[in-house]
Amino acid sequence: HRFSANAMMTFEEEKMQTACDDLRTTEKLCESDNVGVIETIRNKIKKSVSGSGVVVVDRLQRQIIVADCQVYLAVLSFIKQELSSYIKGGWILRKAWKMYNKCHSDISQLQETCVRRCSSHEEDLSSDQANHNTPVEGAVTAEALDRLKGSVSFGYGLFHLCISMVPPHLLKIINLLGFPGDRLQGLSSLMYASESKDMKAPLATLALLWYHTVVLPFFALDGSDTQAGLEEAKAILQRKAVVYPNSSLFMFFKGRVQRLECQINSALVSFHDALELASDQREIQHVCLYEIGWCSMIEMNFEDAFRSFERLKNESRWSQCYYAYLTGVCQGAAGDLDGAKDVFKDVQKLFKRKNNQIEQFALKRAERLRKMSPTRELCILGVIEVLYLWKALPNCSSSKLQLMNQLLQSVDDASCRGLKNLLLGSIHKCHGNNKDAIQSFQLAARDEFGRQTNSYVQPYSCYELGCVLLAQPETVGKGRAFLLQAKEDYAGYDFENRLHVRIHSAMATLKEVVPQ
């Protein structure tokens, strides 16, 4: 669990490979004594042999661990966001799904047997003997079964959330592999696991917090409402505050909630507190630094953002290329153009993963700024662009959005006109000024001059235009048409999978409101 969590938090290739190797080793160890489990369970239930319940629990636990390993391997594959990784992850999940179903069925049968046995002996037992944990004739105790149910519920819930991360155009392939993806069932199972006595209960709690504060707002799984899931996250944090009063991770998620509620100063305090609490945990320090950098960009505090990303560029082994680009645009936005140009040169040297869409984007942007000789206006444009792409503009205060609006007006580079209008439209949308938002998105969608430089601007503009039009009953039809245009008329642009997930979510919301 520790190696998997580190890899998922840091995205470092070395840690991801180490985690994969460890998971496969664990899987082999558990499978070495995993033959004929159902037969063993049936035999042990029938026989009144002392200690048979321990054997049954051990065998079931082994199966659950194998399935958990498969899910972790699939998540590590999905993180790479490559087509081959999605296919590979799908096949891995197929095995996990079968094992979870089998384990869930076995545990349910054992629970039913336990209830029947306890009921049949209840009249013959004294009240202090007929308690929840009394084994009957060597069978598994109810307490052990409850713990196993919590254990299988963790992986089962995480499994369903994995499926929700798969881009919609690959869902048909996933369905062909033989399993569905029910997000609500996944959340329900994780909640059960988080309240259980299983050792993975804290992991289930962290998975829920991660989902509500990172996945939901980033992929817009509940539409564009950044408040979705925050009440659940706050309730979890409140319940666990007594149990984990000095946890750097819980302090980190507290900061995430505050950031999503636009309480940026409070979020910065929480992230700095988490950073201090994680003095001997490098991975947690890095995710805290990352959030400090982003909160600083949201506040247009370019110098603090530069310091955070520069430290990540030097210390982190995950995507130094990406961190170098963020360092450069923040440094340039702060006014140090010579320093920014030097950092943009480093981006090429640090570019390692040719199939990684984030690094490809960072490289293209850095190369263009380096060749053009960066200006402060273009670097600020770059900062606002990443705030938009990572869905951080809704976290900005009204005054900061107004400042961004003013700064964008000063950008007069013709090749950036489409991008400029996309960002202006997004700012108007955050202000609730739909009329100006629609006008800006329309200008961006019609921009052909900057299409080669900013290939994603047109499809993203169509998507944004569709979302704004969906908000008005009289323009729902037009909104749906723009969403379909964004989905079907464009291909091969930056962050295509990311947009497809958001389009799918918007269309699903539309179907709930207006059945097709």
Q: Report if residue 330 sits inside a domain.
A: no
Q: How far apart are CA 512 and CA 299, in angstroms?
A: 36
Structure confidence by residue, pLDDT tens digits, 470-482: 988 899 999 999 9
**Mean pLDDT confidence for 107-134:** 65
Considering only CA atoms, give the Rg of the chain. Answer: 26
Domain termination site, one of 136, 165, 199:
199
Q: Looking at 29-38, 149-158, 246-255, 352-361, which range is the least confident one? A: 29-38
- Structural domain including 511 reads 412-516
Q: Which residues pair with 223 in a beta bridge?
A: 221
Q: Report if residue 185 sits inside a domain.
A: yes
Q: Report if residue 103 sits inside a domain.
A: yes
Q: How far apart are CA 154 and CA 4, in angstroms?
A: 15
Q: Report if residue 55 sits inside a domain.
A: yes
Structural domain total, the chain: 2
Structure confidence by residue, pLDDT tens digits, 50-78: 455 677 788 888 888 888 888 777 777 76
pTM: predicted TM-score of the whole model, two decimal places = 0.81
Q: Report if residue 362 sits inside a domain.
A: no
Q: Which residues pair with 224 in a beta bridge?
A: 222
Domain termination site, one of 199, 227, 257:
199
Q: Report if residue 262 sits inside a domain.
A: no
Q: Report if residue 420 sits inside a domain.
A: yes
Q: How far apart are CA 194 and CA 196, in angstroms?
A: 6
Where would I find the beta strands (DSSP E) of 97-213?
A: none
pLDDT band at residue 116 under the 50/70/90 scheme: confident
| Higher local confidence (pLDDT), 363 or 4 | 363
pLDDT band at residue 221 under the 50/70/90 scheme: low
Residues 66, 25 contacting (CB under 8 angstroms): no
With residue 224 as reference, give the H or E element that holds it.
strand 221-224
Helices 417-430, 457-470: inter-axial angle, 10-degree rounding: 20
pLDDT at position 286 over 80? yes
Q: Report if residue 159 sits inside a domain.
A: yes
Domain termination site, one of 152, 171, 199:
199
Q: Looking at 121-125, 134-138, 142-146, which range is the least confident one? A: 134-138
